[in-house]
Structure 1
């Protein structure tokens, strides 16, 4: 048999198998006959692909379902517990890790705060979080299928961290370091890109084609879904809008620029000093605001106003249907939201505002970790189908 024929047969089987799995994933419980109707594949093809997926443990049978005039059919369901995905969000003062099943349900999480920004210290904390999520995972068909790590900085398409100014990292290869330790696939991505993907996959943005996700922690990153796809830019460095200038003669930023947005609209605008290693400055300021502290309330009002100023530029530039504010700043929503919305309503061009929807993330600080988990388990499913089809 010539190579062209072999490749064509492989390609057809691969596509068919993906189509069957995707249908079960989205429509389960579903019968073989209904899969054939949904996909327009013949019943023999569906049956052979289902058998493969059952043997691989990615789906399972449950039944019988309701009869449509004959024997009650056996129903097929996706096995979300066939493996687990680890999603990690590295912030400037925290590491949040989650373990999800293969559809994104959070099964376990781990959070660590830190103040020491040395690479050795953060590496130690990162391994501690991943170790916990790895070694507490239940036994399953495929175990932990991969680790996804979101970082606040520019990441090359190969997964190398070129610059994370708020961490002081430059040309750091976290991917290789983590792969060597855990011997499983590792994906590195900008945390704001991960955040917008998390919102698109699991959140209110799932039906939207143009979404802006603004991640606000110690820094600010922006993730973009344009025309239904994650927009990374030419080299993967889109969304560094935390470093656009909002104060022409403002303070000097770690990136080298002056008057950057994140200096005025992120946790960097909070002034709390001399806190212990494991303390959380944002949490401390929220406690003060809840007790009516005027300086804390003024600080959050200022952050909201400056968020609105930056959002106005983004809205006028991209004309999105939805803007989502996520990451740690969502904990202070009650003091930030009103001044932010007032500023965007006042400054954004009137024809940009309908049907624009601006809101805080329902996932709070978990969007990026969820996005990284999704990147990871989707990659596993693609690779798994590919490898098993090659063997057939």
Structure 2
């Protein structure tokens, strides 16, 4: 990081982090998959290395900022930005403000199946256990479709069995999004990451599932868009937006 910024006039640095973070103290409090980062003072360390002001936020919340200022969320006061693939999470902009309660996470560990598989967090049936790349590969392997299959490969395969796995994956992703829509009614969901590989049918299945579950009279019909930018780029743009908001 010091090398990257050495020749630049840095106005500030925005950090997108996984797990549970404390933006006020600049600490990464907990990352289930990376125990070495528990309690890590990332803003203090980066500030010492670069001499710049450093601001920390959860990746999903920075992603929604990226979409708000630079993507498909421009001009909206309420919408949700969704990471799909190896990383799963939702950031929500509500009435012009990013929802960022202390202790809040990205939704990956909301319970969607009380008797489901054990998650890396220790609980059972987390959304993460059903709607990430790991589940997709395991499901494809169990169906005899091959090892380490990607969503793009399953879609390109075109056979009925692969199609059923892809549709099940879309329904699993929609499970968590339905809960978000029920609670906050963002109306617009912008999918990033692996969802780009699913094509129009994948997007349609998620949208139809959302509309079937939350068909309230007078409310905005949920819409699903698939972002074209790489998900890391959207989070990085959100980091820039975070710095600009502090300036």
Q: TM-score, normalised by structure 1?
A: 0.54
Correspondence 1:344 to 2:215: no
Name the CA shift for 1:249/1:355 in 2 (closer, same or farther; >3 Å). closer
Mapped contact 2:195–2:203 kept (Cα < 8 A):
no
Correspondence 1:244 to 2:110: yes
Mapped contact 1:217–1:329 kept (Cα < 8 A):
yes
> Match of 1:222?
90
> Match of 2:72?
204
> Match of 2:137?
271
How big is the shift at 1:150? 0.6
CA distance in 1, matches of 2:34, 2:164: 28
Give per-residue Cα distances to partners, 1:202-248, cap 9 Å, x unaligned.
Answer: 12222112112222232322212111111211x2x334311111111
Gaps of 5+ in 2: 139-147
Instruction: Say which structure, 1 or 2, has more relative contact order (CA 8 Å, 6+ apart).
Output: 2
> Match of 1:23?
none
How many residue pairs align between the two structures?
Answer: 236
> Match of 2:167?
301
Mapped contact 2:80–2:189 kept (Cα < 8 A):
yes
Name the CA shift for 1:323/1:351 in 2 (closer, same or farther; >3 Å). farther
- Which residues in structure 2 correspond to 1:310-325 (within 5 Å)? 310-325=176-191
CA distance in 1, matches of 2:11, 2:94: 29
How big is the shift at 1:253? 0.6
How big is the shift at 1:376? 2.2
How big is the shift at 1:197? 0.7
CA distance in 1, matches of 2:226, 2:46: 32
Match of 1:189 among 47, 57, 77: 57
Name the CA shift for 1:352/1:163 in 2 (closer, same or farther; >3 Å). farther
CA distance in 2, matches of 1:362, 1:171: 34
CA distance in 2, matches of 1:228, 1:301: 33
Mapped contact 2:207–2:223 kept (Cα < 8 A):
no
> Match of 2:21?
155
Match of 1:354 among 183, 205, 220: 220
Whichever of the two has the greater Rg, that structure is 1
How big is the shift at 1:309? 1.9
Mapped contact 1:219–1:268 kept (Cα < 8 A):
no
Name the CA shift for 1:266/1:353 in 2 (closer, same or farther; >3 Å). farther
Match of 1:178 among 32, 46, 53: 46
Mapped contact 1:264–1:306 kept (Cα < 8 A):
yes
Decide which moves more: 250-259 or 166-175: 166-175
Name the CA shift for 1:265/1:231 in 2 (closer, same or farther; >3 Å). same
> Match of 2:143?
none
> Match of 1:231?
99
Correspondence 1:164 to 2:35: no
Question: CA-atom RMSD, angstroms?
Answer: 2.7
> Match of 1:109?
none
Q: TM-score, normalised by structure 2?
A: 0.82
CA distance in 1, matches of 2:77, 2:32: 31
